[in-house]
Amino acid sequence: MFPFLAKYVADSDSFWTSIHPEYWSKHNVCEWLQFCCDQYKLDANCISFSHFNINGLQLCNMTQEEFLDAAGICGEYLYFILQNIRTHGISFFTDVEETKPTNKDCDLLTKLPPDSGVPSSLLTLFCSSVPARDKACERAGGINGQECHSHGRTNLQSSHLWEFVRDLLLSPEENGGILEWEDRGQGIFRVVKSEALAKMWGQRKKNDRMTYEKLSRALRYYYKTGILERVDRRLVYKFGKNAHGWQENKI
DNA sequence: AGCCCTTTTCCTGATT
DNA sequence: CAATCAGGAAAAGGGC
């Protein structure tokens, strides 16, 4: 595996980079989007997550116009990047890496269309994208998205607990029954295996002392910021107005 | 160095 | 009784 891609597949079962886009799961699509936002410094605020809550086949069937609708100017880049991956596969990445490893961001941009003009000031992690003016959300999601690229960690594997939980919910094939939707439409979910969840979160944070007791304390802090809403049932939580990226495909 | 933010750790007490 | 929930308080850790 290519070193600079390692963080994207490090502890994941699905190696999206080695799967043809046509066969990507929804989760893979999300990973790809995060990769794009990270590597190409796309402003995720332009991207409508709900439009990309689809699998790879649906993604590949999207026209350039649909990409524009779903992500504005970013849609152009995303479309271009996707077509490159479909055509050149992993070599699209490796070429880039080998060309100028010390300045990959700038170099990657050279592979975008000449008139791209990718905004470099707004770096936002796709799955943390938030309404630009939503301050609470901003805090929770990290609107400047620095975590996207500056420290080889946690892009595809979300850095925040609620994103970790969300992504686990979005990939049922990977969460081993740890989390379950209680009411998908309303964003209500249940922690089925609390100890396993804590252990998994602990692995993510490289902290083998993590417990559900402590994890749940962190989750309760989300009530204040509107990431989660209180549900009056044991082990049941609900995404709040400031959580995003968990909704059903709205296309 | 210092601030901000999220998460961790610990704790007391209530609830299921 | 064991597990969970509720938050307060303080500290850790990372980013800027």
pLDDT of residue A219: 98
Residues 121-160 of A near strand C (Cβ < 7 Å)? 144, 146-147, 150-151, 153
**Residue nearest B7 (alpha carbon to C1'):** A218
Distance measured from the CA of protein residue A193 to the C1' of nucleotide C8, in angstroms: 27
A192 touches strand C (CB under 7 A): no
Question: Cα separation of A16 and A5, whole Å?
Answer: 11
Nucleotide nearest to A225 (CA to C1'): B6
Cβ A89 vs Cβ A96: under 8 Å: no
Instruction: Locate A240 and state its tokens.
Output: 């709040």
What is the value of pTM for the model shown? 0.53
User: b/e string for A162-191 if b means 16 or more Cβ within 10 A?
Assistant: bbbbbbbbbbbeebeebbebbeeeebbbeb
**Residue nearest C4 (alpha carbon to C1'):** A234
Positive or negative, the CA dihedral A35, A168, A202, A232 is positive
Sheet (strand A228-229) strand order: A179-183, A188-191, A236-239, A228-229
pLDDT of residue A139: 32
Residues with pLDDT less than 50, chain A:
1-4, 6-13, 94-157, 250-251
Instruction: Locate A196 and state its tokens.
Output: 């396993």
pLDDT of residue A51: 84
Nucleotide nearest to A219 (CA to C1'): B7
**Residue nearest B9 (alpha carbon to C1'):** A214
pLDDT of residue A114: 32
- The distance from CA A140 to its chain's CA centroid, rounded to whole angstroms, is 14
Nucleotides on chain C that have an atom closer than 7 A to a protein CB are 3-9, 14-16
Question: Cα separation of A247 and A99, whole Å?
Answer: 39
